[in-house]
Amino acid sequence: MYVKEVAVVNQVGLHARPATFFTQKANEFKASVWVEKDERRADAKSLLAILSLDVWREDTVLVIAEGSDETQAVDALVALVASGFSERG
């Protein structure tokens, strides 16, 4: 299992468009991937699960993966979140 913490920096958090990008990226990996906020864990490959976490700007989340490419999955998703999903503002 591989885990990293990341702060959400984009304007709207993990909602709608950014959450879609996040789940698409998570689905590129074989590993099981989760996002955790306030001790609530959601499947990172499920858009509805991600939206249910209610992640907003300046929230901190854990990205957790377990499987053959767990390190690559977590690092890629943390980089995506840290980049602000390439949004400005």
Bridge partners for 37 per DSSP: 40
Cα–Cα distance measured from residue 32 to residue 11, given in angstroms and rounded to the nearest whole number: 27
* HEC readout, 29-41: CCCEEEEEECCEE
State the catalytic residue, choosing from 11, 15, 36, 57: 15
Annotated catalytic, 46? no
Cα–Cα distance measured from residue 64 to residue 21, given in angstroms and rounded to the nearest whole number: 17
Catalytically annotated residues = 15
